[in-house]
Structure formats: structure tokens, C-alpha cells
Amino acid sequence: MADFTSSGWSLYIMVATALGLALCLWLTITLSRRHPPGEQVGTTGHTWDETLEELNNPLPRWWIYLFYLTIAFAVVYLALYPGFGANKGSFGWSQVSQYETEVARANAAVEPLFARYLKQEVAQVAADPQARAMGERLYLTYCVQCHGSDARGSKGFPNLADNDWLHGGDGATLIKTITEGRNGMMPPMAAAVGSAAEVENLANYVLSLSNSAHDAVKAELGKPKFGVCAACHGSQGAGNPALGAPNLTDKVWLYGGSLATVTESINKGRNNQMPAFGELLGPGKVQVLAAYVWSLSNGTTTPPPR
């Protein structure tokens, strides 16, 4: 409905609704008219078995009254609730306000349960079996779609069950990540590197940093070009958690560690985003969820089964 912002649409809906109700009222009045006494009732024109005909009698009174009742109900409803164009109704009800009311009621009910964990460090919360169980339920509700039911991620989605972290895996960083989200972006570097051959040489050098399969000769030729990468990944390729720049000296690859994938990353760049959950979950749930995620890579618990 985002495209229907013109006031003309509201007028169109109001006119269509009013005409529809008027038509229903006219039709009901027409069908409720009785024939004068003694007047022969006509037929509908339908005939069965040669002589069996259907008389065109008016609708029963109780049926007519039901139609009047539904029309009156529609008028009252449209006066009290939104539906008649842009009119919000005298009650001022909306789906958004109802949702916010229900969320506030639910949060008020569970707030004491989560509030006590806010006074504890993430490691302490992770050691609490009840907190871990709640954290697991939160993970399976909000995180499993991207990071997988076993928390080991997939292409483009980080593995949460190991100790390789782009921004850091301590409790405070995890809380910040869940609360505010992350936007990881590597710009396309093909223009800065040079020709396709030079990009391939650089990709081989990047693979050599982790002792992955590479062409040693091309890697040596690509080493000088690594200067365009060092600003983020460091001169030794060990990464920079402050920027979320990956460590290129290990064998942990978010998109894959083949020559073709690394070349594609250099040519086209990468752009990944994790949404912020702080407003949705609130501080207490974020604390419990962060503790559960922290426990996955610190041996406190095992990832949920596939």
C-alpha cells in the first residue's frame, strides 16, 4: 500500500464504499416489497419436469431484517474503526497501536525474568542453564535463518561456533553486534589493482598467506599489489577487528577460499549486512542471546543439532 499515498485514493475508496452500501440497501428494499393482495405472483422463468415452476415470491422477513442489520453494522463499524478511506474511526484503533500494546504487555510480563541477567557478565549468564535454554530459543527464533540451526553459518553468513570473529567475540562486542547490527563492506578493487592478470596474481598472493592452494610464481608477482589491501587487512594480512576486515592468514573464508572466489571478491567487492535486533528484543533478551552465542565458541554448550 506504500504506493497509494494520494488523497485521491482515499476519496475513491470512500465513494466506492458508500455506493456499495447504498446499492445493498436499495437491493434489500426492492426484494422486500410485497405483492398487493389478490395479485398473481409471477415466476422466475425456471421450469422443471414440464410443469414445475419457481414462483417469484419476496424474501422472508427474517432474511430481510438480517440484510438491514448487516448494513447498519457496516455503517457503525466504519464510523468506529478505519476502513472508510483515510478516516481513522472514532476509536482511533490501528494494527500498529494494537501490536505495540501487545508487545508492551508481553515485555512487562517477562521483563523481571530477563532483568536479573543484565546485572551479570556475559560469561556468568552463559554458565546459567536456564539462561542458556532461553538464549537457545531466542537463537532458534531470530538467528537460525542466516547462521543455521547448528550455528555454523553458510556462504556469506559467519560461523558462530568457532573462535574466528570479524569484529571480536567478547561479550561486550557480541551485545553491540546484536543490538546495532553490522554492515560489512569491501569495495571493488579491480580498478586499483590493474589488469585481470594482476588481479589473478594478487588473488594467488592472498591465498599464499594462508598456505592455501596457489601459484607461487603468480603470488610473488602479486605481492606488491597487496598494498591496496593492507589499509584494511594489515600489512601481514592478519585483519583488523575494528574495521571488521577478515584475517587472510587463516583458512576461514566467509565466501569460499578458491582462486575464483577470491578473484571475484577483489573484482566485485562484498557487501553483507546483519540487521539490528536491539529495538526488537530489548536489553535483557539481547544479554541472554549474546551469552548463548558466546557459549557456542567457548565450550560452555554445544550448538543445537541440525
Give per-residue pLDDT as tens, 225-259.
999 999 999 999 999 999 999 999 999 999 999 99
Residue 305 lies in a domain: no
Give per-residue pLDDT as tens, 51-101.
788 777 777 889 889 999 999 999 999 999 998 888 888 998 988 889 889
Domain extent at residue 11: 7-32+56-93
Count of the separate structural domains present in the chain: 3
67 and 117: one domain? no
Residue 99 lies in a domain: no
Q: Write the CATH number for 209.
A: 1.10.760.10
Cα 68 to chain centroid, rounded: 44
Amino acid at 63: W
**pLDDT classification of 1: cutoffs 50, 70, 90:** very low
151 and 202: one domain? no
- Mapped onto helix, strand or coil, the DSSP state of residue 253 is coil
Has this prediction a pTM greater than 0.85? Answer: no
Interatomic CA distance for residues 172 and 1, integer angstroms? 40
pLDDT (0 to 100) of residue 51: 79
Rounded to a whole number, what is the largest CA-CA distance in the chain?
Answer: 110
Given a contact cutoff of 8 angstroms between Cβ atoms, the answer to whether 138 and 281 are in contact is: yes
Residue 171 lies in a domain: yes
